Amino acid sequence: MPQQFQFSKPLWKVLKDTKVYETPIFTLHRVHLLPDKKDEEVPFYVLNAPEWINVIALTPDNEVVLVEQYRAGIHESSLEIPGGMVDEGENPLEAAKRELLEETGYVAGSIKKIGKTSSNPAILSNYTHLFLAENCEKIQDQQTDGNEDIKVHMIPMEEFLNLVKNGTVHHSIVLAAVAHYLLYLSENA
């Protein structure tokens, strides 16, 4: 049984939370906090965003279904696993199935949650739920939305792990999903 960690640092007191800016995918808040055992407040900026999902999708031949897309933040293309936002009224499992189908045209024979990661707890309020989809098969063409321009790649697992190792696959949440996948494999071997 996994060992539990006991956190010992008390939460800081929220004195004020002000929405500064709103976009379709996040809101920027200025949060005034009072650290434990301090008398002076500290301002922080936090991006409030919906929950996200990422899916390691495997075919019966143990190929990984990957998506290549342009990423404005780094002004480069990125090779990733399918993923996206959990829509309002949707749970993470439903979002994982939807995003896999929309971005790739694939459905999973089975899908299970293998972990959860805080996307960037220093500035982001959300979590990313990580899923393993097995026995994936293509049933339709992609149905991307908005500004998505995605190319699907099928890569054998061993080659995918080499792309992770050499830095070709570098998206931090994808790397977290890979870590959870490898832990899942070691626990279920």
- pLDDT tens digits for range 124-148: 999 999 999 999 999 999 998 878 8
Q: Which residues of 27-50 are buried (b: 16+ CB within 10 A; e: fewer)?
A: eebebebeeeeeeeeeeeebbebe
pLDDT of residue 23 exceeding 60 = yes
The mean pLDDT of the chain is: 95
User: pLDDT for 167-181, tens place per residue?
Assistant: 999 999 999 999 999
The pairing of beta strand 106-107 with beta strand 127-134:
unpaired
> What whole-number distance in Å separates Cα of residue 79 and Cα of residue 97?
20
Which domains does the chain carry? 13-48 (no CATH), 52-187 (3.90.79.10)
pTM to 2 decimals?
A: 0.93
Mean pLDDT confidence for 25-50:
94
